[in-house]
Each structure stands twice: as structure tokens, then as C-alpha cells.
Amino acid sequence: TRIELPRPDYTMLLNGSKARFTVCVEGNIGSGKSTLLNHFSKFSDVQTFQEPVQKWRDVKGNNLLALMYEDPKRWAHTFQAYVQMTMVEQHLQPCQAPVKLLERSLYSGRHCFVENLYKSGKMTNAEYTVYCEWFKVITQNLDVGVDLIVYLRTDPDLLHARIKQRARCEELTIPFHYLSDLHSLHEDWLMGTTGSLPAPVLVLDANDTLANMFKKFEEHTSEILCGKL
Ligand code: TTP
């Protein structure tokens, strides 16, 4: 008779990481990404990784997020280079649960924020090129893949109001056109045909009340945690 040996869990050998499924949540500023992460953090099979905004606000005493909004021509490249580095750290963090849930990813920095800053003249061609070269080296050489993107799709009008309400001090000067430009870039990247998607996309309409968003999270739990699209 044939004896079936238990199959070794090879993923355990990779940085002690057990994650089988990596999901990232994307969406414009204020679209509710942290809310989704908080909701799923109560599942024992999920480990969540919040975006390191706090780090960006205190880099050895320098608030890079504030500097970027105050003087983007001077600081956008420095800020985005640092965001990229902290995102790589998130992607490479070992995960002790079968599902790794990330707030944002390397990819939205590249395809939405940096694209916007370059197109609007806030980054020079040299700065943009250096950033993109780093992005290429990282994505071609490090284990930064994702299995699913959850897109919280929102109307920029609604976001403008939400951002004012939450009153994160660095963001008080964000003009409406900045949000609508970022919205178009999220749309082009996640709904369009740019061909630069690292994973399939689950789209959730996030122009909704908090109570309804929690209902949607419940309804889509199996897709979000197992990728059954
Ligand atoms: P978001 O990453 O959109 O996070 P959020 O706190 O708005 O998320 P949510 O409300 O959906 O939970 O942006 C955080 C801040 O960082 C925001 O001011 C935009 C800025 N930012 C950039 O300027 N460039 C970037 O590449 C990223 C990722 C964020």
C-alpha cells in the first residue's frame, strides 16, 4: 500500500512567512482603506499591514508628508522615494497568517501618485526616471507580488468633503482638482487598459455609508480572503 506523506509547507521556508494569499487595498485618498483593514483584522487567518503614514510624518524629525504638500516641486521626489522604500518593507514583512492584507502597495505610488506629480510638473524628468528605475529594479528582483487588488471606487466630490472632515493637518490644502486627477489615474490603472496591473481587481463601490460598507465587506469576504473572483 502507498503511504501518503504530509506535504511540507514550503512557504514556511520563505522568511518564516506563511502567507498564501496577498491582497492589497487601493483607492483614492480618504476612500476608506483603513476601515477595510480594521474590519478584516479581526479574522484570525488575516494579518493586516496599515500604511506607514506615521513614518512619513517623522523621518528623524522631518515631516515629509507636510513638506511634499507645502512645496511639491522641492520635495515630491524625496517623499515618493521614501514612500517607495516603506512600501517595499511592507511587501517583504513576514506574515504569520495565511492571508496578508496590505493597505496600498508599491504599485499605486508608481501608477497614480508619481504619474500625477510628473504630469503636473512637480517632478522633473530626471527625478521621475530615477524613481521609475528604482521601481523596475525592485519589481524585477524582489518578492513584491500581490494576488488580488480590492479597489474602493469613490467619487472625488465625496472624498473632498471627507478629507475636510477628518482634518489631517497636512491635507487641508488639497484642492479638488488634485483628487479628481488622482481619481482618473486610479481609474486608468485599475479599470482601464494600461496593462500594468499586478493582479486581478475586485471593485467595490465605496460611495456609501459606513454601515453599508461593512455589509459589502461581509458579502465579499470569501473573494477578498480567498481570491474567488
Ligand atoms: P492614502 O494612501 O490614500 O491613505 P488614507 O489615509 O487617505 O487612506 P483611507 O482614508 O482610504 O484609509 O494617503 C495618505 C496620504 O499620503 C495622503 O495625503 C496622500 C499621500 N500619498 C502620497 O502623496 N503619495 C503616495 O504615493 C501615497 C501612497 C500617499
Pocket perturbation via mutation, ligand 1, pick of 51, 120, 181 by most ligand atoms within 8 A of CB: 51
Is the pTM higher than 0.95? Answer: no
Task: Using the mean position of ligand 1's atoms as its centre, give its distance from the Cα of residue 154 in Å.
Answer: 14
pLDDT higher than threshold 50 for residue 218? yes
pLDDT higher than threshold 80 for residue 19? no
Pocket perturbation via mutation, ligand 1, pick of 26, 28, 29, 150 by most ligand atoms within 8 A of CB: 29
Cell digits of residue 200: 486581478
Give the three-state DSSP class for 5: coil
**Closest residue by Cα to residue 26 from 47, 51, 45:** 51
Q: Is 103 a catalytic residue?
A: yes
Quote the mean pLDDT of the chain: 91
Output the pLDDT for position 195: 79
**Mean of pLDDT values over 182-201:** 92
Output the pLDDT for position 228: 63
Q: Which of 103, 115, 170, 223 is catalytic?
A: 103
Output the pLDDT for position 54: 93
Confidence class for position 17, pLDDT limits 50, 70, 90: low
Output the pLDDT for position 194: 78
Residue 155: partners with Cβ closer than 8 Å, 6 or more residues away: 183, 207
Task: Using the mean position of ligand 1's atoms as its centre, give its distance from the Cα of residue 191 in Å.
Answer: 20
Instruction: Characterize the bridge pairing of strands 21-26 and 99-103.
Output: parallel
100 lines ligand 1 (CB under 6 A): no
33 lines ligand 1 (CB under 6 A): yes
Q: In this predicted model, what pLDDT tens digit does every residue of 51-93 receive, in sequence order?
A: 999 999 999 999 999 999 999 999 999 999 999 999 999 999 9
Task: Using the mean position of ligand 1's atoms as its centre, give its distance from the Cα of residue 7 in Å.
Answer: 41
ipTM over 0.90: yes
Q: Which helix (H) or strand (E) holds 47?
A: strand 46-49
109 lines ligand 1 (CB under 6 A): yes
DSSP state of 57: T
Q: In this predicted model, what pLDDT tens digit does every residue of 136-153 receive, in sequence order?
A: 999 999 999 999 999 999
Output the pLDDT for position 14: 45
Task: Using the mean position of ligand 1's atoms as its centre, give its distance from the Cα of residue 15 in Å.
Answer: 28
